[in-house]
Structure 1
Amino acid sequence: MDKNLKNFNGIKGTEENLTGIAKVNFNTEQGVRNLVLWGKEVDENSYLSLRILKRLHKYYGTDNSEIKFEKVLSDRFDEEVFNKNNANLILVVNSINDLIRLESNKLKEDYEILNLIIKRFVRVIEIAHKNRARIIFTTIPPFSGENKSLEYVRNEINSWIRNSTFLDGYLDLDKIVEKRLDVSKDKKEINYDKELEEYMVENIFLDYIVERLKPFELDHMSQSDLIKAMNENSRFINEDGIDILVKPIPDPVEETRIDRRIKYFYEYKRPKRSGNPYVFAGEAVGDMRDNMGLLNLNLCKSNILMSKENINGVNCRVYKKEGLKENLPCIVYIHGGAFIGGSLDVSENPCKLIAEGINGVVISVDYSLAPENPYPLGLNDCRKVVEYIEENNFLYGIDKNKIGIVGESAGANLATIVANENSNIKFQGLVYPVVTFVEKNPFFNWDIDLYENPYKEEKIYNFINSLRNCEDLVQKLYIQRELDPRREDLSPIFNKNLSKAKKTLIVVSEYDYLRVQGEAYGKLIHKAGVETKIIRYEGVNHAFLDNLGIYPQAEDTINEIIKEFLDAVGNKNSFKL
């Protein structure tokens, strides 16, 4: 046994409780770091655990430091792991196999096992990230004997681990096993430590993890205090006859105009994945889809029920606060993703929080994505869902006179088109909306000088320009044929009768190419006589809502959606911050 591991105390899990948890302290150049080891066999006999720790020690530890194991913290993984022990890194090892075996005895269908296990994994990740810890999983090596029947589940979970945008890294034990098997055929020796080290370098992105283990001192204030500070220091600026509500960075720092959380996230975020082979018209659609969506957290204080429904031929998720029955307000939610990607998974926690806040129903639409389903198929899916719930509102306990629609980015494009066509919709919430594919138009003149100090920081310049010149991509992947991009059901800013628009909330990011067109659209709706509120969040870029629970601007946006929607449907005083 390695001398650095001699002080280890561990525990083995039981059938009822498949986890043992131990804390490891070791010195680094940045100071003492705490690692939590979570697994079925967290003890000195766990070969894999010891080897992984040796690798971590090699990369993080100083020459004169030793790894010191403390006593077992708990026999389960929960908030106390962090509250009491300030964990910086979570390593999940040797527990997944046993979890699969145990659940397979209880559940008959593979997909049920899969959903349950992944649900548990996501919860572990949420707890870790909520407490500013990084998390690494190991993949599951091949089963043998009686467990071969679980190969489907193993493959699906490994695929989830390898492709999850939520994890900070993973160890591909499957590949190591394959390498060992190949070597054994030729009766050659294999250096297990060397193989493990190589795969750690390849799959964990060590530089990234080391930086993430630095003291995370960004959140010196609670999320609620950050939101309070942001609102107390907000101000109005009048542009073209409408007051735009500008919400500042809640805790600015002198060296940057970017919110510190976003700056930190982009400096040390996991490198983009690549390798998805799906290409359409020369565009790497598979890679684009794989890199969409970020971690967000469930902030609900009550139990929100979710059911998967097929509504008028369209798959949807329906969210409702437990115990609510009928005559409920409803928001139809349309996720973003450039018309080609995004998912209901990324928007699940925002939808839950909205459902809790409005004391009603949120229906998240899994609309058809381009390029497989080009314009107008995704738009038609959104239309079909809204039409059906209006006619069959009683099936979901919905008051048909209290329906609104909310969308993000490309989803906001679809949302406002549907709202403009439907007189029964009472509210539209458009978060950094796409409202035109025509940069040169009569409504605004886009210029980077419309942004404050765009050249001062390279990241600001890159944020602003990241979505510019996307018209060719949209034409190629979404529209796919010769159509006038000024059509009202492509570029709603060209709608000639915006006086029929509904009470509108438009949310934009300061450093987003879409900010100018989003604000221009809001000004046009306001000029047409429709009650309109525009909010600009300073210091943030496109898609910040994806980080609900991490960026205070995301939670504040949800609060604004809830407040404005309830006001529109006559429930003005039912939401309290």
Structure 2
Amino acid sequence: MYNKYEQDKLVSLLQKKQEIKNIHGIDMLVKNIPDVDIDGDLDPRVKEKLKDNAKNMKDMSNIEPPKSTGDIPVEFIRSIMGSLNFDISRGIDATDKIIQGRNGNIPLRVYTSNKNESMPAIVFIHGGAFFGGSTKTVENACKYLAQKIEGVVVSVDYRLCPEYRFPQGLHDCFDTVKWLYENSKELNVNCNNIGVSGDSSGGNYSTVCSMMDRDLGTKMIKFQALLYPGLNLSEDKIEDYEFDIKLYNIKNNYELIEDAVMGIKKFPPLSLLYVNNPEEISNPYVSPLISSSLKHMPQTLIITAEYDYLTLEAEAYARKLIRDKVPTKLIRYNGIDHAFIDKIGIYPQAQDCIDEIAKEFKIAIR
């Protein structure tokens, strides 16, 4: 169960044990494991969770890699996504809304702190490899984010693949940003103080929405917070990025950590699920890491987990943003793995992550 005193204590320790380090050629804020002094190993909470997951996944170890969409157990994988978490927010109202996008109705979940008549707002885009996840998965994280920004968070229930392939889910997300901007008074939102954020594939959608906003000249998005984002679906050779497990600091529990890092590679290939044809994988709106220019993107916060397959590409993206003169901050949480925001109220890193997003968002819009 959620213990507020214990979680707040651990979050305080996270802040006390953070340090600036240059890793892989980039300065980042590193958040060490709060309550134990270990290096190159898992946070004890994560270790326990991974061991449980390993037991539950044994039955899937002999499944053959899919060769077509019909071979992929999409509904089963969707059913096991997400994790137990808790509502740690106070004073947040939640309402459901349906808006009209270019592809039809878009269901939204709107969280508001009702602080004033001109609140800031963030459009939050859930993860799930483009084919899973939901607004329900990230509800407690969104409620806490609305509290911390003293504003509004709009969570998008976008269309999922393979039923709806690229760019339909992306269009739902961008159309939501546009709707929020054009109807800001309805939610008591200041249209000049809008950001986007998302985790994993939601991080991909968030930064691609920022790209579209830049490319269209609509200038709606002032800030992006990308949580362990998936930025490269391409097999193309990319400057400054190459995956190598040797680049991870692993000193103990090697097999358990390696399984955690490589877990995403066990997901169905998105070339079969997300895009209409393999050539689209090399579209920068699918794989933003291959974009030729990131100039004029909004102020950026990138959050990574130490033991996550996507960490190296997120770091490469940060380096690219910095080279293109985009104000960028990178935070790494040591000892944890992918999708940790789903464990808010259990992992102190999830609460601290929301605190950091709110802090950087307020800096960006002041």
Does the pair score TM above 0.5? yes
Paired residues of 2:41 and 2:251 also in contact (CA < 8 A): no
Residues 1:444 and 2:274 are matched in the alignment: no
Residues 1:271 and 2:271 are matched in the alignment: no
- Structure 2: stretches of 5+ with no match in the other structure: 61-67, 214-218
Paired residues of 2:41 and 2:250 also in contact (CA < 8 A): no
2: distance between equivalents of 1:240 and 1:428?
22
2:106 aligned to which of 314, 325, 330: 314
The residue aligned with 2:191 is 400
Query: 1:482–1:257: structure 2 CA closer, same or farther, 3 Å change rule?
Result: closer
2:220 aligned to which of 421, 424, 441: 424
The residue aligned with 2:151 is 360
Residues 1:286 and 2:75 are matched in the alignment: yes
1: distance between equivalents of 2:290 and 2:19?
30
Paired residues of 2:299 and 2:327 also in contact (CA < 8 A): yes
Residues 1:387 and 2:172 are matched in the alignment: no
Residues 1:473 and 2:269 are matched in the alignment: yes
The residue aligned with 1:458 is 255
Query: 1:544–1:349: structure 2 CA closer, same or farther, 3 Å change rule?
Result: same
The residue aligned with 1:130 is 2
The residue aligned with 2:85 is 296
Q: Please give the residue correspondences for 1:67-146 in structure 2 after superposition, counting only pairs within 5 Å.
A: 129-130=1-2
Of structures 1 and 2, the larger Rg is shown by 1
The residue aligned with 2:323 is 527
Q: Please give the residue correspondences for 1:29-40 in structure 2 after superposition, counting only pairs within 5 Å.
A: none
Residues 1:334 and 2:125 are matched in the alignment: yes
Query: 1:515–1:241: structure 2 CA closer, same or farther, 3 Å change rule?
Result: closer
Q: What is the count of residue pairs matched by the alignment?
A: 348
TM-superposed CA distance for 1:469, in Å, is 6.7
The residue aligned with 2:216 is none
2: distance between equivalents of 1:495 and 1:483?
15
Residues 1:370 and 2:155 are matched in the alignment: no
TM-superposed CA distance for 1:455, in Å, is 7.3
Paired residues of 1:416 and 1:430 also in contact (CA < 8 A): yes
TM-superposed CA distance for 1:356, in Å, is 0.7
Q: Please give the residue correspondences for 1:463-542 in structure 2 after superposition, counting only pairs within 5 Å.
A: 463-468=260-265, 473-542=269-338
1: distance between equivalents of 2:292 and 2:162?
29
Scaled by the length of structure 1, what TM-score is found? 0.58
AA in 2 matched with 1:412: G
TM-superposed CA distance for 1:223, in Å, is 1.5
1:234 aligned to which of 18, 40, 45: 18
The residue aligned with 1:195 is none
Query: 1:261–1:240: structure 2 CA closer, same or farther, 3 Å change rule?
Result: closer
Query: 1:478–1:247: structure 2 CA closer, same or farther, 3 Å change rule?
Result: same
Paired residues of 1:273 and 1:287 also in contact (CA < 8 A): no
2: distance between equivalents of 1:402 and 1:521?
24
2: distance between equivalents of 1:286 and 1:265?
23
TM-superposed CA distance for 1:281, in Å, is 2.2
Query: 1:462–1:469: structure 2 CA closer, same or farther, 3 Å change rule?
Result: closer
Query: 1:393–1:483: structure 2 CA closer, same or farther, 3 Å change rule?
Result: same
The residue aligned with 1:154 is none
The residue aligned with 1:212 is none
TM-superposed CA distance for 1:326, in Å, is 2.1
The residue aligned with 1:435 is 231
Paired residues of 2:39 and 2:251 also in contact (CA < 8 A): no
The residue aligned with 2:360 is 564
Paired residues of 2:40 and 2:251 also in contact (CA < 8 A): no
Paired residues of 2:98 and 2:106 also in contact (CA < 8 A): yes
Paired residues of 1:273 and 1:290 also in contact (CA < 8 A): no
Query: 1:544–1:412: structure 2 CA closer, same or farther, 3 Å change rule?
Result: same
TM-superposed CA distance for 1:420, in Å, is 1.7
Q: Secondary structure at the match of 1:468?
A: helix
**What's the C-alpha RMSD, in Å, of the aligned pairs?**
2.3
1:29-79 deviation line (CA, Å, top 9, x unaligned): xxxxxxxxxxxxxxxxxxxxxxxxxxxxxxxxxxxxxxxxxxxxxxxxxxx
The residue aligned with 2:64 is none
- Structure 1: stretches of 5+ with no match in the other structure: 1-128, 132-218, 571-577
1: distance between equivalents of 2:37 and 2:118?
47
Paired residues of 1:448 and 1:454 also in contact (CA < 8 A): no
2: distance between equivalents of 1:416 and 1:515?
16
TM-superposed CA distance for 1:240, in Å, is 6.4
Q: Secondary structure at the match of 1:374?
A: coil
Runs of 4+ aligned structure 1 residues displaced above 4 Å come to 253-256, 272-275
1:351 aligned to which of 138, 142, 145: 142
Paired residues of 1:335 and 1:408 also in contact (CA < 8 A): yes
Paired residues of 2:40 and 2:250 also in contact (CA < 8 A): no
1:232-283 deviation line (CA, Å, top 9, x unaligned): 12111224664111111112266981001111223345836999xxx94200
The residue aligned with 1:259 is 43
Query: 1:273–1:346: structure 2 CA closer, same or farther, 3 Å change rule?
Result: farther
AA in 2 matched with 1:315: P
TM-superposed CA distance for 1:311, in Å, is 2.1
Query: 1:429–1:250: structure 2 CA closer, same or farther, 3 Å change rule?
Result: same
**Range with bigger deviation, 329-338 or 496-505:** 496-505
